[in-house]
Amino acid sequence: MAKTLALPKEQLVKQALTQMQNTLADNTWTDRQKLALTCRILFESGHDSGLAGQITARGPQPGTYYTQQLGLGFDEITASNLLLVNEDLEVLEGHGMANPANRFHSWVYRARPDVNCIIHTHPTHIAALSMLEVPLQISHMDLCPLYDDCAFLEGWPGVPVGNEEGELIAGALGDKRAILLSHHGQLSTGTTIEEACVIAQLIERAAKLQLLAMAAGTIKPIIPALGHEAHDWVSKPKRHAAAFNYYARQNLRQHADCLN
């Protein structure tokens, strides 16, 4: 006989969270491997835009972070060809140079001690939405990890290679997890590499759905309390890790070399 059909939702949520914590397995990849996997995952999901975009994660020492070499596409990144750089973008480990636009990552890391990974890309639907100078609208359950958690920078400051752009983007991001940059792209953050990767996947899907919905009519808002409830339900480290592991399994079928 069923034992849970009369239980309140609050208790069922607690039970589910406990079960996820005890059941969902963690991965054992290094940060370098997880970054390389992230590059391949996002490449296959349409985030590739030639040499545009940067993916970084904090390094072993304060003021350092890993990033890809300028000149390599997301589909060419491996754990071994990543660079370790300092806040001046000087290469501490590896060969080549970092994308000069990485400079604004330094400003975000300084402003947000809770952020350990930053993903900046120009995927098709985000880029298209950014041209309209309208904020991201979260009006679907699947997108709620971004509900009230995506900032908007309406003015385009130009190529983000200066300190001015770093201050502006970090300030506009505030305490949010992501930001839509007009005439530019998106920036997603996470306390873990897994979280940042999942958020980057989600923001592009959100832009695609928003453009489809805007073409069909007027987007109707969801009830704020339910949006926040869904945000908090999905935004758990175990959920992000499980989603990342799934994306990784998908991509390792053809991108196993990225772990080298």
- pLDDT digit string (tens) for 197-256? 999 999 999 999 999 999 999 999 999 999 999 999 988 899 999 999 999 999 999 999
Q: Are 140 and 207 in contact (CB under 8 A)?
A: no
How far is CA 14 from its chain centroid? 27
Please check the confidence at residue 25 and state whether its pLDDT lies above 90: no
- Cβ atoms within 10 A of the Cβ of 20, count? 15
Give the pLDDT score at 156: 85
**What one-character DSSP code corresponds to residue 76?**
G
- Beta pairing class for 91-93 and 117-121: unpaired
pLDDT, residue 136, reads 98
Over 80: is that where the pLDDT of 154 sits?
Answer: yes
Answer whether residue 110 shows pLDDT above 80.
yes
The single-letter code of the amino acid at 38 is T
Q: How does strand 150-153 pair with strand 91-93?
A: unpaired
Positive/negative CA dihedral, 237, 112, 232, 11:
positive
Average pLDDT, integer, range 44-62 = 94
pLDDT computed for residue 11 by the predictor: 92
Torsion angle of C-alpha atoms 167, 171, 174, 179, degrees rounded to 10: -80
Mean pLDDT of the chain: 95
Please say if the pLDDT value at position 146 is more than 90: yes
